[in-house]
Structure 1
Amino acid sequence: MTTKTRKVAIVGVGFVGSSCAYSLINQSICEEIVLIDRTRERAYAQALDLSHCMDFTHTRTKIRVGEPADCRDADIVVLAAGANPVPGGSRLALLESSAELYSALIPIIMESGFDGIFVVAANPVDVVTYLVWRLSRLPRSRVIGTGTSIDSSRLKILLSEHIPVDPRSVQGYVLGEHGDSQFPAWSHVTIGGKPLLDILAQHPGRFGGLQLDEIAAKTRNAGWEILQRKGSTHYGIANAIAHIVRSILNDDYKVTAVSAVLDGEYGQTDLCLGVPAILSRSGITELVELNLTQKEQELFLRSCSILREAASSLATSATSVSPPFP
């Protein structure tokens, strides 16, 4: 009997990449992980450290150091290389450095023969995902950004602090940019299947103090709050990456808010931003189009405009910069 080894390559093994590998190992999501980093010694140290987890996990995950050529037979390549946002700045401020990095790196990965799925975690994730899609020339279903997956999780946790339920009993999505123009689609947030707006209207005495604008602001600023206090966010986004990878490899058909390339959905084309998507072994099986209120449509269009302007500044072919990895 032969079985196919599920292989994930992680490019960039700083806080996010290494935490992602740790999540993949502890959740037994794949059989092989390859760590790729411009600093090979750091990748080696991370692989050695992570290998020492195996005696305490349910299954053995082989983990080793590699290079872009090792992406050839990977099922998924996670792109986590890149700088952290500067406190008080914007994720979009990282665009120039990220574009330079991935304009050099993606052609190298594609030349290896890679024919799997990219999961993009580098900021600004929506524009980088768009760039990776253009450079790789893969179908849009196989280039997926983490997008607003982490923001949607933050929204659910914040709501669970006001309405006493498990965060996993809250259903809803943050849409648009993983950044300052994101917004919760309040018209589609439910708790136990009941619309949140109905709950608030029917129980003003219990939940009258819940201010949706304040919750939206806390959701939007959660990453900055962490960044200002410890310099980076990595545990939450690492688990978001692991969730996306697991949904793909297990053919889960799970709906998750990710950064996806739109081709007519929500009336938009040639643009990448956070929307709910059905994830399966083929990548994105389908995008879920929510019926947005007029206000939500206006917020969505604003986010589209900001990201379209950022994407328009990119060169969509590889530049002549030196390769970022050996």
Structure 2
Amino acid sequence: MTHPKIAVIGCGAIGTTLAYTLLLRHPHLEISLVNRNPQKAWAKAFDMSHCSPELPNRAIRAETPEECAGSDIIIMTAGALPRENGTRADVLKDNVAIFQTLLPTLARNNPDAVLINITNPVDAMAYAAGKITGYPPERVIGSGTELDSMRLRHFTAQTLDLNAAELDIQVIGEHGDSMVPLWSLATYQGKSLTEAYPSLNEDLKATLLHQTKRAGWDIRLAGEHSCYGIAFSAVRIVESILGRSEQPVRVSAELQSEFGLPHSFISLPATLNRTGIIQRTLPDLSDTEYQLVMHSANLVQQQLDMVGQLL
């Protein structure tokens, strides 16, 4: 029996955490680790392979971009890190150059793969990946605001003393400072969150959103790298693609003026399968939320223009 193959490109904190999470949650997958330093990829795969006696039909190995063929999903985590107190866009030029080195070979050897980009700036780099590989738009997605939605749920539940698993708050738009929380649609145990908790006023919403935007930087300022949350959110995207979850995920993809929004590359709720995105929806937004999404799309489009100049 042939099992789905996942190629994880980059063996830094995110790539290795992602591979290990997949290893534990889905032991029937094949996982390939690719890194610019082949010895590092070998060491990580070798270490994880020692779990195999307790995990059925496990195959995890290190491969080069040339060897990495037949993948169903390619996950890009390789790239330069944003500078302290900078923005995700600061590293756009460096990361486009890295993608231009890696992706042509990967695309040639994996012509039918779905590509998930995690490298920052997520939305613009996913767009760059699509241009470099020539993959159709439905097969190139960014990890988007799935992580931001998880973070906002966590901070809100922590502040209001709620069970985060029963809290639904979506974040859409850019994975960045212009992200848009959909407070008008937020629910707890199926009931309107804002109606049930009057203490959730505009000041508190702003504080919670600020925490969400700064979460990754706060981890960096503590001398560490954000890896667990993003790895877990990426696993949720993989599970959606493989049909292991029917829940929509907030991933970014190219927007061709749908929903009255401008051309851009932003996150909306999406349904996925082995061919990539099969449906995207725009939630029933308030007028203010719609204008914020429009603003977010326009800001991301400026990054896409920069990508066009670099390519």
Q: TM-score range with shorter-chain normalisation? A: over 0.9
State how far apart, in whole Å, the 2-side matches of 1:246 and 1:210 are. Answer: 36
TM-score in terms of structure 1 length: 0.89
Map of 1:321 onto structure 2? none
CA distance in 1 between counterparts of 2:202 and 2:259 reads: 33
Distance 1:267 1:253 in 2: 27
Amino acid at match of 1:49: D
- Please tell me whether the aligned partners of residues 251 and 280 of structure 1 are also in contact (alpha carbons under 8 angstroms): no
| Aligned residue in 2 for 1:281 | 274
Aligned 8 A contact 1:186 1:197 in 2: yes
Give the SS at the match of 1:211. helix
Q: SS of the counterpart of 2:66? A: helix
CA distance in 2, matches of 1:128, 1:300: 19
Structure with the bigger RCO (C-alpha within 8 Å, sep 6+) is 1
Corresponding position of 2:155: 158
Q: Give the match for residue 304 of structure 2.
A: 311
**Percent identity between the aligned chains?**
31
Q: For residues 191-202 of structure 1, what are the structure 2 equivalents within 5 Å?
A: 191-201=188-198
Count residues in correspondence.
311
TM-fit CA distance, 1:287: 0.6
CA deviations over 1:102-143 (Å, ceiling 9, x no partner): 123222212224311001110000001111122222222211
Q: Deviations over 1:33-66 (max 9, x none)?
A: 11111100111111111112223x4434211111
- What is the aligned counterpart of 2:236 among 213, 238, 243? 243
Could you say which residue in structure 2 is the equivalent of 1:224? Answer: 217
Question: Which one of 60, 73, 77 corresponds to residue 76 of structure 1?
Answer: 73
Is the Cα contact below 8 Å between 1:265 and 1:287 reproduced in 2?
no
Give 1:316 deviation, angstroms. Answer: 7.4
**Partner residue of 1:34 out of 32, 35, 60:** 32
Deviation at 1:27, TM superposition (A): 0.4
CA contact (8 A) 1:103 1:317 kept: no
Give the whole-Å Cα distance in 2 for the aligned partners of 1:271 and 1:30.
36
The separation in 1 between residues aligned to 2:195 and 2:294, in whole angstroms, is 26
Structure 2 CA distance for aligned equivalents of residues 229 and 265 of structure 1: 41
Looking at structure 2, the residues matched to 82 and 98 of structure 1 have their Cα atoms a distance apart, in angstroms, of 5
The equivalences for 1:62-141 within 5 A come to 62-141=59-138
CA apart distance, 1:210 = 7.6
2: CA distance between counterparts of 1:115 and 1:198?
A: 46
SS in 2 for 1:274: strand
Of residues 147-156 and 276-285 in structure 1, the stretch that sits farther from structure 2 once superposed is 276-285
Change (3 A) 1:269 1:209: closer
| Aligned partners of 2:7 and 2:32 also within 8 Å | yes
Unmatched tracts of structure 1, length 5 or more:
319-326
For 1:324, the equivalent position in structure 2 comes to: none
CA contact (8 A) 1:110 1:136 kept: yes
Are 1:23 and 2:16 an aligned pair?
no
Aligned to 1:52: 50
Alignment map for 1:293-312 (pairs within 5 Å): 293-312=286-305
TM-score, length-scaled by structure 2: 0.93
- Computed over aligned residues only, the root mean square deviation of the Cα atoms, in angstroms, reads 2.0
In 2, Cα distance between the equivalents of 1:30 and 1:139? 28
Q: State the secondary structure of the residue aligned to 1:272.
A: strand
The 1-side partners of 2:135 and 2:36 are apart by 25
Question: Does the CA contact (< 8 Å) of 1:175 and 1:182 recur in 2?
Answer: yes
Q: 2:240–2:246: 8 Å Cα contact kept in structure 1? A: yes
The 1:289/1:314 distance shift into structure 2, 3 A limit, reads same
